[in-house]
Amino acid sequence: MYQIGQDEANEVIIMTGAGALFSGPRPSNEYRPGNSSATAWDKIYREGKDLLTNLLGIEVPIIAAVNGPALRHCEIPLLSDVVIASEDAEFQDSAHFTNGMVPGDGMHVVMPLLLGPNRARYFLLTGQNISAKEAKEFGIVAEILPKELLQGRAYELARMLLLQKRLTRRYSRIILTQHLKARVHDLLGYGLALEGLGILGESDD
């Protein structure tokens, strides 16, 4: 993400998945990253902060073409400026609460902003699977398309954005993500710390 943000040749970014899933798979019940020590978790803490900070630090518009289920870290495509999805797309947080972990690595920041606080808490605490149709109804996806048309539509949208002057695109991206940057700055580190404490404290239960 950092390298993308630093490359001044980039004008518009299209983000999509490389396989049948946009992101996944669902983790096993034994999935516990960084559970060996505070030092091991510190690496995840730093990488977790960098991931969303660097994503929001990209100063050109981002289009997410969600080409299938986003079962882990669905907040990443949903932070894009334009989100389109295939008909078989799904959105879920399969890695955290329902798998015995605190949803503190960004889901707790992004999903309440996108879904509203009550709906987001339900989503995070129940492992709700949101279909593409529901995601459009909730306002977190702008368009749903057949999978074979998704990439073409993403490029069509990119060409539309490219009609505007470079600084107009860049400064629009900056101003439209500033409130997200502020929330991530204030809450992400705290959430990651609590997630780590939850994992490292399992031996005390």
Q: Is the pLDDT of residue 45 over 60?
A: yes
CA atoms within 13 Å, Cβ hemisphere of 24 = 19
* N- to C-terminal Cα separation, the chain: 37
* β partners of residue 65: 16, 84
DSSP-derived 3-state class of residue 145:
strand
Stated pTM of the model: 0.93
Compute the distance between CA of residue 71 and CA of residue 23 in angstroms, rounded to an integer.
6
- 30 or 100: which carries more pLDDT confidence? 100
Give the confidence band of 183 by pLDDT, cuts at 50, 70, 90. Answer: very high
pLDDT digits over 126-151, tens only?
999 999 999 999 999 999 999 999 99
DSSP state for residue 28 in the 8-state scheme: P
- 96 or 35: which carries more pLDDT confidence? 96
Q: For residue 75, indicate whether it is catalytic.
A: yes
Active-site pick, 8, 59, 75, 195 = 75
2-198 carries CATH number 3.30.2290.10: no
Quote the tokens at residue 22. 């946009």
Compute the distance between CA of residue 103 and CA of residue 100 in angstroms, rounded to an integer.
9
CB 16 within 8 A of CB 84: no
Domain map of the chain by residue range?
A: 2-198
Q: What is the pLDDT of residue 12?
A: 97
Residues 32-50 have a mean pLDDT of 89
Q: Is the pLDDT of residue 60 over 90?
A: yes
CB 44 within 8 A of CB 130: no
